[in-house]
Structure 1
Amino acid sequence: MSTKLTEHRTLTIERHFQAPLSRVFNAWAIAEQKRQWFACHEDWVPLEFRLDFRAGGSESSRVASTDGVVHAYQARYIDVVENERIIYAFDMMLDDVRISVSLATVTFTPEPASTKMSFVEQVVFLDGYGDNGSRLMGTEIGFDRLRLYIEGDETRPN
């Protein structure tokens, strides 16, 4: 019998965007916008992306890394309050192996001439998966791409 292990961590990331709140929120809510930034490695090959952004909706993404490993993300939206918060649960898989399960909360706060976004992920790494900080690093890279997307094109509608 194999031993099943769990390791719990909480990741907290805060970002300030020089953009209106609606632009930041819509980058999460509109499939064509989220597809533009939701990846942490530009050289990975996109295989699938679907987004049904609403409470009770779902999201899935599959990409292949340069070594051929398929990274799969499957989420279910629990609570969505437009321009205020998003709460969702998701799991991550490498090929056919589930490596983690998470609950994430994203909140949005208007500030003078900017928007504050707070992200908290409560993650359970499964069965000895050795993350070594790569989840935090990948999420921060994703949010750096979000910043470039949001702040890079002032002509994009909110």
Structure 2
Amino acid sequence: MTVIHSTFTLERTYTATPSRVFDAWADPAAKARWFGGETHELDFRAGGREVTTGTAPNGTKLAATSTYHDIVPGERIVYSTTLTGGDTLATVSTTTVELLPDGDGTRLVLTEQGTFLDGAEEPAWREQGTGDWLDKLGEELK
């Protein structure tokens, strides 16, 4: 039984305004396009939930369930997430997304604090995957 605690921060700069970046996060159809997964449900409000499912390369069913705790339109999003593989809890994390004006665009700063359990997921995998979907968000905003 192992526990690894990890924190990472990723930054992206988008040519879209903070309001536009926020809207791409808040709109269920837009979020499903850039976030991915086999299924995606989004109730974007404080206390709302997001559930994304998929399948790992080894065939294990994955489910990421997030609860939104703080939403300031165009400025900040705070949520917690659990990731399970089959019936096994892999990670529990808290994520803060800050949307900062940057000229005519936005500097997005995402900080995630995670607890990784029993080797079911590695912090480096999470950081890489998060960076990949932030890049897809950039494509969505073009």
Structure-2-length-normalised TM-score: 0.93
Higher Rg of the two aligned structures: 1
RMSD: 1.4
The answer for the alignment partner of 1:127 in structure 2 is 118
Question: Aligned partners of 2:121 and 2:48: how far apart in 1?
Answer: 30
- Secondary structure at the aligned position of 2:93 is classed as strand
Choose 99-108 or 62-71, whichever is displaced more: 62-71
Letter in 2 for 1:69: T
**Contact 2:77–2:97 under 8 Å retained in 1:** yes
Structure-1-length-normalised TM-score: 0.84
Where does structure 1 differ by over 4 angstroms across 4 or more consecutive aligned residues? none
Residue 7 (1) aligns with residue 4 (2): yes
- In structure 1, the gaps of 5 or more residues are 40-44, 152-158
Q: 1:52 offset after TM fit, Å?
A: 0.6
Letter in 1 for 2:71: V
In the alignment of these two chains, the number of paired residues is 142
Question: Aligned partners of 2:18 and 2:140: how far apart in 1?
Answer: 14
Question: Aligned partners of 2:123 and 2:40: how far apart in 1?
Answer: 27
Residue 107 (1) aligns with residue 104 (2): no
- Secondary structure at the aligned position of 1:122 is classed as strand
Question: Aligned partners of 2:121 and 2:16: how far apart in 1?
Answer: 36
Letter in 2 for 1:37: W
- In structure 2, the gaps of 5 or more residues are none
